[in-house]
Structure 1
Amino acid sequence: MIRYEALEALPVRSALPALGNALEGHGTAVLVAPPGTGKTTLVPLALAGLLGEGPARRVVVAEPRRIAARAAARRMAWLLGEKPGGSVGFTVRGERAVARHTRVEVVTTGVLLQRLQRDQELAGVDAVVLDECHERHLDADTVAAFLWDVRQALRPELRLVAASATTDAGGWADLLGGAPVVEAPGVSYPVEVVWAPPARPVRPPHGMRVDPALLAHVASVVRRALAERAGDVLCFLPGVGEIARVAGQLGELGDVEVLQVHGRAPAAVQDAVLAPGRRRRVVLATSVAESSLTVPGVRVVVDAGLAREPRVDHARGLSALTTVRASRAAGRQRAGRAGREAPGAVYRCWAEAEDARLPRFPAPEIKVADLTAFALQAACWGDPDASGLALLDPPPGGAMAAAREVLRAVGAVDPRGRATERGRRLARLGVHPRLGRALLASGEAGSGEAGAEVVALLSEEPPREYGSDLADALRRARRGGDAYSGRWLAEVRRLRAAAADASRSPGDDSAAPLDVRPEPGGGGPGSAGGGGIAGLVAALAFPERVARLDGGSYLMVSGTRAELPDASPLRGTPWIAVAVADRPLGRGHARVQLAAAVDEDVARAAAGALYEEAEEVRWAEGDVVARRVERLGAVELVSRPLSDPGPGLVRAALLEGLRQEGFGLLRWSPEARVLRQRLAFLHRHLGEPWPEVSDDVLHARVEEWLEPELSRARRRADLARIDAGQALNRLLPWAGGEAARLDELAPERITVPSGSRVRVDYADPGQPVLAVKLQEMFGSDRSPVLAGVPVLVHLLSPAGRPAAVTADLASFWRDGYKGVRAELRGRYPKHPWPEDPAGAEPTRHTNARLRG
């Protein structure tokens, strides 16, 4: 019996006529309706004609999460006086309640994506409602783009509704061809905002880590809310670990029941949260409770202000969730949960001044997530680069390029990016293409059933208490007894069926079967072990993460170093395959979360595409090292000395040595060093054709000045025999005849008034220096000039110590000489100290020699 009273109380009812007119006239519509208005439950029933008005239609409702899909189906069935599986049904991964006469089917966006790939026309479906599209999940964006293609090319009569509580209505309207925007009034009970920041600063989130001080503060705010307000409390936290920690800190709350709701929660717990409680409740939830779900009895929300978003390190091939500040849009959604049924309050665990600095909306998943699965879906759809898809945000080019590399490696696409038959088989499996490749390949290796067990384990990571050893985690899941193992077993059944179906599809040569088997007793279908099959599947799924023990850490074949937890039973294992890892901010090494032991044969087979044999000639430890090396990516397997390396490789190694250690490896006589300094001086002040002789330029012009000596060299000792000065002479401007002026423009020595030939110091290319005894410059009233630059004269005492520095001798004789004369003539009485040095005879001798 239809519950008309409950239906008529839903505010979205007033928007149904406008929505119907929009769909009749345009075929698409954007429905904006605040939480609690009934958009998720009443609108599909009305579109399907189940309320006694309008023609009978088949409607599919797409929800972003399994918990929301199941809850929406139950609610709609209740409104019709039925149970799920009748007029209203649902399909989520691993669970289906649909009958032949079902008119409204609620599915997850992932399920709808799979259905579209199998049947692009969606035969028999009259309308699709994309619920909660503001969350911008990648699957939801992809489904919307595919549905628009279907409507444009195959089924113009297919009706599309994009529905959300808070969304970019204009953007979605444009995406759906100028769709009308229909707004529904909401039940807007007032929600008081209480700012409850921690008394002392807490550390910002760092990767997956949340400051325990913040979680302790959140627990205290929950207690405060229970004391100050009536009704149930809904507390938003970023993840399962934080929920468990806060639950532990709340301890006993008297007659208050503490419930934990998240995507991994057992169905019974999810059902209990969505049903009225017999006593007061505290519901600790992730973002699954932000939308689509109404938790009855909630009057208070406590918001930790955090969320989890995916991030990808493309350079290292690592992807993980990271903790971020929740957006203002998410904050409004969360606060709205307190006002669904009556006036309420939201306690925000941050300062009011911080609120304006929060991002307006969450980051679209297409901008930050691993796009491998998306790229495969696009390729199977016939648009490999996704350029023709109607998307609110285009996929980043770098992420798409990385995704296509992975797809090519697993044989899912051809060199032009088009889906292969294997790629289409992988897309139908409903798991990440990496895991799909492992599932199919383990079947080809004779371990398909056990392979499905490991893939199920990796498609939804096991609880942390299962440990870091994938084989141990598999054994725990097989033993059962907890909520996770129940979901795992359902997924194993689904994967076995999907793999069997895929194996019946026509194959191709895009990925040959692997000649590898799990080790005996290592987890075949009837084995109690699991070590062998766990390692095989992890290596097949993540070949670039196969790693060998190297010192105290592991070196992956990708080149990234990884560290196991201190208590991991895998520590010391020679080879592992890393299934789950992240790289904490500020750390160079990856941190292994889940891995399995493998032997070298499995490592070589799984990562065979990265195997190479090469002659390696490089500069290492101060000399040329020549080896024949076998490598698995960055991991060196075997190395043998190379007796006769190629001359080109040797020359490249010698050049690398010169770059690393400098041209000091050559033989530099004093004359050669001076020549380089003289050339640097001339280039600075005269420019071309005098060459620049900096290290960078000499490296760039090495063929002009260091050949043929370099081509004859084989090792460091040969470099030390090369006369750098002789080689450097090749850079002099011989062709134009300017080289003959070298001694004129920048002489090694110049003749001073005493007749001595004194060496010029060109160490500073800005100004040459002439260090000469003061008495040898008597009678000269001008400093020497070289290439137009006055020489800086260092006037020395008779003992050769600096007495004065000048570039203007006339000025020095006039102003500075008297002071120097007064200071030094008593110390050196045998040397001449005339009162008029400009007119005196220069000399290298003492007064005694002069008199004699």
Structure 2
Amino acid sequence: MRSLSELVDDGCDLPFAAASEPLRSAVGERRVAVVEAPPGTGKTTLAPPMVAGVVEGRVVVTQPRRVAARAAARRLAQLTGTRIGDLVGFTVRGERRVSDSTRIEMVTPGVLLRRLLRDPGLDGVGAVILDEVHERGLDTDLLVGLLGEVRELRDDLAVVAMSATADSAGLSRLLGTDTPAPVVGVPAVLHRLEEQFAPGPLPTDARGVSRDFLSHVADTTVRAFSERPDDGDVLVFLPGVREVRIVAETVASRVDAEVLELHGQVGSREQDRAISGRRPGDRPRVVVSTNLAESSVTVDGVRVVVDAGLSREPRRDASRGMSGLVTVRCARSSADQRAGRAARQGPGVVWRCYDRETYSGLRPQVTPEGQTADLTSALLTLATWGAPRGEGLALPSPLPAASVLEDEQVLRSLEAVDEQGRVTSHGRELAEIPASPRWARALLDAAPLVGSRLAAEVVAAVELGVAGDVAQELGSLRRGSSPETGRWRAEADRLARLVADSAGSGGSAATVIALAFPERVARRVGDVYLLGSGTRAAAPPTLAGHEWLAVAEVTRASGASAAGTGAVIRSGAPADESTARLVLPATQEVRGELVDGRLRARRVSALGAVELSSTPVPARELGSDAVFDVLRTKGLEVIGWSGSADALRRRLALLHRVIGPPWPDVGDDALLMRLAEWLGPEVEGAAQSGRLAGIDLTAPLRRLLPWPEAGRLDELAPERLEVPSGSRIRLDYPAHDEAGPVVVAVKLQECFGLAATPRLADGRAEVVFHLLSPAGRPLAITGDLASFWSGLYTQVRAEMRGRYPRHPWPEDPWTAPATARTNRRR
């Protein structure tokens, strides 16, 4: 057994040992520091004991994942010869191993956030170290802001931010008070790294990461294993658990090696085995991992990395009430960190399962989670802290305004915040439950209906990420004995203790899900399901066939797996009409639909967007509002754009793009928002006649012209351009939703003498000439006629005068008369 100070003095042959004095000095004098050190240099191992030697109280260290928190604690306990929970401990969701004697505690960011809400002063804590800040996790970003406020009240609290690739200067300015925080770093200690590019098939298809691509990754891994340098181990990076399992099974059947999986769903013993180095006499290892091994943990003995080049990131689709993880190309910073894992202990090689051009085109840095994720939990945390929407907090980057508005509305619907975004008493109750606000609400409201135990089991299961039929999965979890089952049971026990004990009065798993997401209660319509929100989604085989579903998760997709709807139900439970009536508003209204260009009207009884019954009625009963609804749902394409309407729209779009107001926005969304203003009379007529298709939108669009500026329309954006020959040539404007030049296609001979290239919109928009041969074929494209006549024209003349001898090809195009005629006709 040795103390933390002895561990620091020893240094464990880790490069970060060189940062001991600078870090301790920064923390001792300024109580703040930014640590910049590459993965594998030992900052997670040595920085906490270095800080512990300077401050009084416990040092709390955040790790982005539970696996990393447990692994970091075990590593430190092993190096000090102590048991977990004594000198070093950890706290993750559902598991806590600490004691009164614990000096260093590893936690996940979410655990520390909840602790801050309960104890804003962090009593007994002397320092907080935020590790892996560069990953830009949402909870870690929030901690940066909240801890900044804590430091204003506690000048003795030290805060250290550690990163592998972050903007150290920006982070230093953010954490510093009067002056930037000290930056402490050590350089990467890298051996020679060889790159091998092994491109394969497209990585994704309609169902996610394709089997063909996973087979390619497995083939590349087998080849990399057979060619590995110095008998080293192989580390493979894949985006998710499914992909890890498929590739690991394939590789295990083809190589003489111990193939190990590393992700959040394997047990702690298996995680330790994957992370720890090979023992004497062991077979070589192939560790197949999610991005967990990118920077959070170090896998010893690796000399070869195989990188699929993919990552899984959150995405939201607020218009259809969907959010979830999607598979995308990883950032270049991530690809570089993965590759660097091969060259920590000796010369290594990285096999990239993509080509060099793809690598060059990767985005430079990871996208901050706060820019794309669901923000309801974050906003509730901020409201509970007393900083609604994060206003006044020094966050690494502001939360996106549109997402804040949308997700704050969800919190208001849950009665968790008021109109000003301030937390309510009910919101504080939801914030105390370790689940997202929707599932916290479901736990509280469902317990009296279905019983506290079932409510807790359902919430624990969906937050664990079960797929398919949640009701069936509950049965499997209750009977199982895997580490995953153990985590679910522990979480269900914890949630059940947070609500009043109740046996319930009836209900099912569907009731709990419906209370969390009322708008996702769905009814089967043909081969797909119509959700209460109006979204149509395909169902997996385990759920398809039931009349009603309560949907826990719906994700964006494409192709066959989404049945053409763009959405797929990932998890849910069979429900019934009574479940739908419990959560969805009942309505009676006349609805319109478009059939072969004609409006049909029906009197509908519905729950949300889900129809229960309908009766045909005359179209005139629709009224203008119902026709407007049809247009907003189907879009203006149901009417169709005539040639003249489309041409006018293109001209107006150019003026709006290059000049701006008062020239109107004629994009789809803008036009649909102003329907009554410009299309009102035609809609009233359609409500009486029942016919929408065929309305000419040219005259209605002119109603949007600004006055008196409308008088300059033909001057600023003319339909035709007069060229020196006297011809008036039609201008081709870019589509309303595209940026680009205006194009005029004209025979070259008609432009002799035209030196200055015309510009439109008071000189703000360029005209590009497509100069044509006498046969109408393109000869040159130019936005600079003067340069063309002085240069390229000579070459064009030499090639064309023999092919078109009847047409003029003068040596001096500046003075030659422009003409649309041949020499003889002239």
Q: Do both proteins adopt the same fold according to a TM-score greater than 0.5, normalized to the shorter chain?
A: yes
**Over residues 650-673 of structure 1, what are the superposed CA-to-partner deviations in whole Å (9 max), with x where a residue is unaligned?**
46668999999x9xxxxxxxxxxx
Deviation track 1:298-349 (CA, whole Å, cap 9, x = no partner) reads 1211111111111111111111211111111112211222223333222222
Cα distance between partner residues in 1 of 2:144 and 2:110: 12
Structure 1 position 284, deviation (Å)? 0.1
Shift of residue 139, structure 1, vs aligned partner: 0.8
TM-score of the pair, normalised by structure 2: 0.72
Q: CA deviation at 1:20?
A: 2.4
Match of 1:598 in 2: 575
Instruction: Give 1:446 shift.
Output: 4.8
Q: How does 1:424-823 map to 2 (within 5 A)?
A: 424-462=428-466, 468-499=468-499, 517-519=505-507, 532=508, 534-565=509-540, 567-568=541-542, 570-585=543-558, 587-608=564-585, 611-614=586-589, 629-639=604-614, 650=623, 716=689
Structure 1 pair 143–500 and aligned structure 2 pair: CA distance change class (3 A): farther
Q: CA deviation at 1:143?
A: 1.2
**Do the aligned residues in 2 keep the contact of 1:35 with 1:186 (CA within 8 Å)?**
no
Structure 2: give runs of 5+ residues left out of the alignment.
Answer: 637-671, 693-826
Residues 10-37 of structure 1 deviation map (CA, whole Å, 9 limit, x = unaligned)? 2222222222222233321111112222
Question: Is contact 2:244–2:261 with CA below 8 Å preserved after alignment?
Answer: yes
CA deviation profile, 1:582-634 (whole Å, cap 9, x unmatched): 121464342112121112111111234xx434466889899887765443221
- 1:273 and 2:261 are equivalent in the alignment: no
Contact 2:600 2:619 in 1 (8 A): no
* Counterpart for residue 34 of structure 1: 38
**Residue 185 in 1 paired to residue 189 in 2?**
no
Partner of residue 730, structure 1: none
Relative to structure 2, which stretch is displaced further, 636-645 or 295-304?
636-645
Residue 300, structure 1, aligned to residue 304, structure 2 = yes
Partner of 1:258: 259
Match of 2:195 in 1: 194
- CA distance in structure 2 between the partners assigned to 1:487 and 1:336 by the alignment: 33
RMSD of aligned Cα (Å): 3.5
Alignment check: 8 A CA contact 2:442 2:516 kept = yes
Contact 2:110-2:139 at 8 Å conserved across structures: yes
Tell me if structure 2 keeps the 8 A contact 1:290–1:330.
Answer: yes
Residue of structure 1 in register with 2:356 after alignment: 352
C-alpha displacement of 1:714: 9.8
Residue 705 of structure 2 aligns with which residue? none
1:613/1:628 contact within 8 Å kept: yes
For the 8 Å contact 1:15–1:182, the answer to whether it is kept is no
> How many angstroms does 1:188 deviate by?
1.1
Determine if contact 1:235/1:283 at 8 Å carries over to the other structure. yes
* SS at 2:417 equivalent: coil
1:247 aligned partner: 248
Contact 2:277-2:301 at 8 Å conserved across structures: yes
- The answer as to whether partners of 1:235 and 1:285 remain within 8 angstroms in 2 is yes
- Residue matched to 2:209: 210
CA 1:84–1:637: 2 relative to 1, 3 Å? same
Q: 1:625 to 1:253 in 2, by over 3 A?
A: closer
2:32–2:182 Cα contact (<8 Å) kept: no
CA contact (8 A) 1:615 1:645 kept: no
Q: Which residue of 1 aligns with 2:222?
A: 223
Name the stretch that deviates more: 6-15 or 476-485: 6-15
Change (3 A) 1:617 1:317: closer
The Cα offsets for residues 492-535 of structure 1, whole Å up to 9 and x where unpaired, read as: 1222233359x9xxxxxxxxxxx99534xxxxxxxxxxxx2x11
Structure of greater Rg: 1
Pick closer, same or farther for the CA change 1:704–1:315 going to 2, 3 Å.
closer
**1:422 equivalent in alignment to 2:426:** yes
**TM-aligned CA distance change 1:187 to 1:564, over 3 Å:** closer
**How big is the shift at 1:248?**
2.3
- How far apart in 2 are the matches of 1:639 and 1:378? 45
In the alignment, is the contact (CA less than 8 A) between 2:198 and 2:220 conserved in 1?
A: no
TM-score relative to the length of structure 1:
0.70
Do the aligned residues in 2 keep the contact of 1:310 with 1:365 (CA within 8 Å)? yes
Aligned amino acid, residue 368 of structure 1:
T
Other-structure match for 2:752 = none
Structure 2 residue identity aligned to 1:240 = V
Asked if residue 323 in structure 1 is aligned to residue 298 in structure 2, the reply is no
CA distance in 2, matches of 1:83, 1:327: 38
**Conserved? CA contact 1:310–1:320, under 8 Å:** yes
Alignment correspondent of 2:87: 87
Structure 1: where are the runs of 5+ without partners?
Answer: 504-514, 520-531, 663-695, 720-852
State the secondary structure of the residue aligned to 2:100.
coil
Instruction: Tell me, yes or no, if the aligned pair for 2:64 and 2:296 is still in contact at 8 Å.
Output: no
Distance 1:477 1:706, change over 3 A: closer
- Taking the TM superposition and a 5 Å limit, the aligned residue runs for 1:15-164 are 15-49=19-53, 54=54, 56-152=56-152, 154-164=153-163
SS across alignment from 1:390: coil
Contact 1:622 1:657 (C-alpha < 8 Å) held by counterparts: no
Count of residues in correspondence between the two structures: 640
Q: Distance in 2 between matches of 1:159 and 1:658?
A: 58
Using the alignment, how far apart are the partners of 1:562 and 1:183 within structure 2?
51
C-alpha contact (below 8 Å) 1:540/1:606 kept by paired residues: yes
What corresponds to 2:171 in structure 1? 172
The residue type paired with residue 270 of structure 2 is V
Which range is displaced more, 217-226 or 80-89? 217-226
CA gap of 1:421–1:623, structure 2 versus 1, over 3 A, is same
The 1-side partners of 2:125 and 2:70 are apart by 20
The residue type paired with residue 119 of structure 2 is D
In the TM superposition, residue 72 of structure 1 has moved relative to its aligned partner by: 0.8
2:733 aligns with none
1:40 is paired with a residue whose SS is: helix
Identify if the C-alpha distance between structure 1 residues 373 and 223 changes in structure 2 by more than 3 Å, giving closer, same or farther. same
Structure 1 residues 156 and 642: alpha-carbon distance in aligned structure 2, compared to 1, 3 A threshold? farther
Alpha carbons of structure 1 residues 634 and 147: separation in structure 2 relative to 1, 3 Å: same
Q: Secondary structure of the residue that 2:156 maps to in structure 1?
A: coil
Residue type of the partner of 2:577?
Answer: E
AA aligned to 2:60 is V
**Residues 6, 79 of structure 1: 8 Å contact kept:** no
Query: Matches of 1:594 and 1:184 in 2, distance apart?
Result: 45
Question: What residue is the counterpart of 2:779 in the other structure?
Answer: none
1:290 touches 1:333 (CA, 8 Å); kept in 2? yes
Deviation at 1:370, TM superposition (A): 1.1
Q: Deviations over 1:672-701 (max 9, x none)?
A: xxxxxxxxxxxxxxxxxxxxxxxx999979
- Who is 1:291 aligned against? 295
The alpha-carbon deviation at position 156 of structure 1 amounts to: 2.6
Query: Is residue 362 of structure 1 aligned with residue 366 of structure 2?
Result: yes
